[in-house]
A and B are shown apart, each in its own frame.
Chain A
Amino acid sequence: MSENYNLSKLRTRLKKQIEQAVPEARIDYCLTCGLCASGCPASGIEDMDPRKFLRYLVLGQDDIILQTNWIYSCSLCQRCKYACPMGIDVGRLVYEVKGMRPVEDRPKNLQKSCDLQKAGNSTGIPNDDFVWVVGDILEEIHETEPEWSDLKAPMDKVGAKFYLNQNAKEPTVEPEEMVPLWKILHAVGIDWTYSSKWWDGANYCLFTGDPEDWELTTRLQAETVDDLGCTTYINTE
């Protein structure tokens, strides 16, 4: 830290703002021990690390915090929280800062993944395409693998016990990767279903920083599962 920082006004507006939004922030508890930074694979990227991030907040270097693209290298993985003797969750603070970035200044593809998710799934493919791909792949298995001629991939089956989702990459990029899962579920003999309305297992709205978007996508997902009457939601990753 060889630069000169302006400490004269103790500009800790951002710190106060975060402490208001996150009562468990515990920013002042930091012992500066560095366990967070030493175990963070994102340390050093954009000349930042979890400890520095926290010190900049304490020292009121709000401009640096608001400008750094390190917030997009921090994967909110919370290993820093796991290692911190004082239980400080730097990822939680980064999440708040992500939400402060004006939408137009955020990485476009990240924001787009969340915006598309709000409309159904993170890839933006029509839900009918998902239904079609599942049916098409299933038909192919029935034709080419006689020992799996009774394989099923139920869609919108009301009252099924298990609701299953898939990461959107499977139906769009590697649809054959759905088949092993169907085979396992078939071999075990459980009663499961996809939903044609909400089938994407990912949720990128967690990463853009807007809690209202995250809440909306989680709520829509929950409503879908409850409408089907499934008692168990299986996450596939």
Chain B
Amino acid sequence: MNQEITYSQAQQKLEEMVAQMENNEIDLETLSQKLVEAKALVKLCEVKLRNIEDSIEK
């Protein structure tokens, strides 16, 4: 996963993936792999949010 990705880019990618999953555009075979990717994006977004919060508090 590219660490340089911005929060907005990560969020957009995540939303697109969820939409594809919901619309059954991803077959079951690749679903698990996509899920791992999506969870990594969630984690990345959470870290970025925490960093933003920390920098504002400083």
Q: Do A and B bind each other?
A: no
